[in-house]
Chain A
């Protein structure tokens, strides 16, 4: 194997990009676009959910003729008004009719004895008549109410019988959903773009017969594959640097661990993805056929790699498929590094898994270039 020939192939890939602004745009801006879209669409909290509160609470008067104290109002005052946009109503029937018409998501009703019950430490029930057609909205309403209740209890000095204190977290003390999501977006963007780009580039190499011409030189299959691997490894690292910087600047993502380790994982993922792209290109005779294979790459990665949903959310019979996909390990590794702050001593299993995939795919990609019998 000659380094000069490997580097010549690498240089060829970069020189191609020099004249092909569209491809460069795809490589640099598509990941940023992906992160922006996912970051804003998924990671942002749900706000402005319109709800109606029917407050039947009569309150408790501290002395005869004094204004009654209504703990329900303290509760309502403690609700985050960014999340819930609150409308008042005295009439339960008309309030529910509004939900039925789709003009509101839920009616929240405080019972007449609310304040008395809380003060007397007697169980009481807040009734919610909700439109549960959108679970995410519903969960956000419940969370806003729970947070409001906690705040109210704290302010008024009434203690709940059971308290759960999760403030001292083992990992991800200040983590938000975006911190979970963005390592997944990085994994997804790099895996997808690199696989697609190499698959299409290599299909073109086959269709235009430049691959034949390369193979007619002293260059070996392994040298050609390694030349590509080097190019896309470098590009993948570069994309990771851009994405992480952008994630920090725009979404304030957590980075508890070593950035270098995170870049190593993304570079290995990019190299693995390009080998997979070369491999997949051997199944296509034309660029059009290659394009038809895109869903075959996107869907498993999107659905099974635990990139956007935890693996635990998947039925157990599907898990083996998840563990057969390189992005699964990259996402796990990146999350452990970025949120848990783990070092190489603890993410080595993920790193090893990607290296094994890399070696396997590189070997298969080289074999796929061998002359046909």
Chain B
């Protein structure tokens, strides 16, 4: 069963086609990487799927419902690129706010806060005010907030931008553990080297998907040494979708 189904999605901002006739299918339980340079349209796709903006045309379904439906909010988690934490609150107070907004059962809040804080290894900083935290800690706190209400589908927009290599490795370890617990994880990134951790990747260029599949396959099909080179080849030929891209759906773990 698919977690996300997107067909003919178009988003036009001031005459610019940020997303241009995009088709995308993401299966439940996979870690899917939406790859591409800045401005490729990745964030716009995520924002449409989360329901923050409306598409100009086309169809976007999330967990079998139209994207943006409020009923979906309880089942999805979202970590924006900007981290989106309240700087003047402690980590714990940030978590409290979202626990209430998600109407978590009160007896569940305390233990669950501890779980997510342990998950991101931040339990000893829970009473620190966010603006006092280092950049890496803020990234971890932001992930903790997105995980708090135990969503089955996670949208992580550039979760590793500006994060040091060690922490990035830790993050990908976390995403693997989430997948193991049955969570579907959709990640955007412009670090091509990270994408090898994904089950499948979709390469975006100028609002379109130019290639899709397991990282190794995409690299092989493009006749490249790595994803970076594959992307450069595909982007410069401007070939649009590879014929095999859509058919490679069966990579589920």
Residues of chain A at the chain B interface (Cβ within 8 Å): 2, 4-5, 7-9, 11-12, 15-17, 19-20, 207-210, 212-220, 371-373
Q: Which 7 A-B pairs have the closest CB atoms?
A: A8-B100, A209-B82, A209-B84, A217-B101, A213-B84, A216-B78, A209-B80
Q: Does B68 contact A (CB under 8 A)?
A: yes
- A215 and chain B: residue at smallest CB distance: B52
4 further A-B contacts with Cβ under 8 Å, apart from A4-B100, A19-B88, A19-B89, are A15-B89, A208-B82, A214-B101, A215-B51
Residue of B51, B86, B100 touching A210 (CB-CB under 8 A)? B86
Distance between Cα atoms of A19 and B83 in the complex (Å):
20
Residue of A19, A207, A219 touching B101 (CB-CB under 8 A)? A219
Q: Does B169 contact A (CB under 8 A)?
A: no
Residue of A16, A208, A371 touching B52 (CB-CB under 8 A)? A371
Contact call A210/B101, Cβ cutoff below 8 A: no
Name the interface residues of B60-76: CB closer than 8 Å to any CB of A. 68, 70, 73-74, 76
Q: Does B129 contact A (CB under 8 A)?
A: yes
- B74 and chain A: residue at smallest CB distance: A218
Distance between Cα atoms of A8 and B73 in the complex (Å):
17
Give min CB distance, B142 to chain A, whole Å.
Answer: 9
Contact call A16/B89, Cβ cutoff below 8 A: yes
Give min CB distance, B17 to chain A, whole Å.
Answer: 16
Contact call B54/A371, Cβ cutoff below 8 A: yes
Q: Does B163 contact A (CB under 8 A)?
A: no
Give min CB distance, A157 to chain B, whole Å.
Answer: 72
Q: 11 interchain pairs (CB within 8 A)?
A: A2-B103, A8-B100, A11-B96, A11-B97, A11-B100, A209-B83, A212-B50, A212-B80, A215-B51, A217-B98, A371-B53
Name the interface residues of B17-72: CB closer than 8 Å to any CB of A. 47, 50-54, 68, 70
Distance between Cα atoms of A233 and B73 in the complex (Å):
29
Question: Contacts A15-B89, A217-B73, A218-B73: A212 and B52 contacting too (C-beta < 8 A)?
Answer: yes
Residue of A11, A16, A213, A371 touching B88 (CB-CB under 8 A)? A16
Distance between Cα atoms of A4 and B51 in the complex (Å):
22
Q: Does B145 contact A (CB under 8 A)?
A: yes
- A370 and chain B: residue at smallest CB distance: B54
- A2 and chain B: residue at smallest CB distance: B103
Give min CB distance, A22 to chain B, whole Å.
Answer: 10
Residue of B74, B78, B97 touching A8 (CB-CB under 8 A)? B97
Q: Interface size of B by Cβ–Cβ distance < 8 Å?
A: 33
Give min CB distance, A215 to chain B, whole Å.
Answer: 6
Q: Does B193 contact A (CB under 8 A)?
A: no
Contact call A373/B97, Cβ cutoff below 8 A: no
Q: Mark B88-111, 1 if CB is under 8 A from A, else 0.
A: 111001001110111100000000
Give min CB distance, A239 to chain B, whole Å.
Answer: 20
Distance between Cα atoms of A218 and B96 in the complex (Å):
15
Question: Contacts A19-B88, A210-B85, A213-B84: A371 and B68 contacting too (C-beta < 8 A)?
Answer: yes
- A214 and chain B: residue at smallest CB distance: B101
Chain B residues with Cβ below 8 Å from A5 are: 100-101, 103
Residue of A2, A16, A216, A371 touching B86 (CB-CB under 8 A)? A16
- A7 and chain B: residue at smallest CB distance: B100
Q: Does B173 contact A (CB under 8 A)?
A: no
Distance between Cα atoms of A17 and B88 in the complex (Å):
8
Distance between Cα atoms of A8 and B87 in the complex (Å):
17
- B13 and chain A: residue at smallest CB distance: A372
Instruction: Specify which of A9, A12, A372 lies most central, judged by the most chain B CB atoms within 10 Å of its CB.
Output: A12
Give min CB distance, A21 to chain B, whole Å.
Answer: 10
- B132 and chain A: residue at smallest CB distance: A19
Contact call B89/A220, Cβ cutoff below 8 A: no
Give min CB distance, B249 to chain A, whole Å.
Answer: 27
Contact call A213/B80, Cβ cutoff below 8 A: yes
Contact call A371/B74, Cβ cutoff below 8 A: no
Chain A residues with Cβ below 8 Å from B74 are: 218
Chain B residues with Cβ below 8 Å from A212 are: 47, 50, 52, 78, 80, 84
- A8 and chain B: residue at smallest CB distance: B100
Contact call B102/A12, Cβ cutoff below 8 A: no
- B89 and chain A: residue at smallest CB distance: A15
Contact call B89/A218, Cβ cutoff below 8 A: no
Chain B residues with Cβ below 8 Å from A16 are: 86, 88-89
Chain A residues with Cβ below 8 Å from B53 are: 371-372
Distance between Cα atoms of A371 and B49 in the complex (Å):
12
Contact call A373/B100, Cβ cutoff below 8 A: no
Distance between Cα atoms of A337 and B9 in the complex (Å):
59
- B101 and chain A: residue at smallest CB distance: A217
Residue of B81, B82, B88, B90 touching A20 (CB-CB under 8 A)? B88
Chain A residues with Cβ below 8 Å from B82 are: 207-209
Chain B residues with Cβ below 8 Å from A209 are: 80-84
- B93 and chain A: residue at smallest CB distance: A15
Give min CB distance, B98 to chain A, whole Å.
Answer: 7
Contact call A213/B70, Cβ cutoff below 8 A: no
Instruction: Specify which of B51, B52, B76 lies most central, judged by the most chain A CB atoms within 10 Å of its CB.
Output: B52
Chain B residues with Cβ below 8 Å from A218 are: 70, 73-74, 101-103
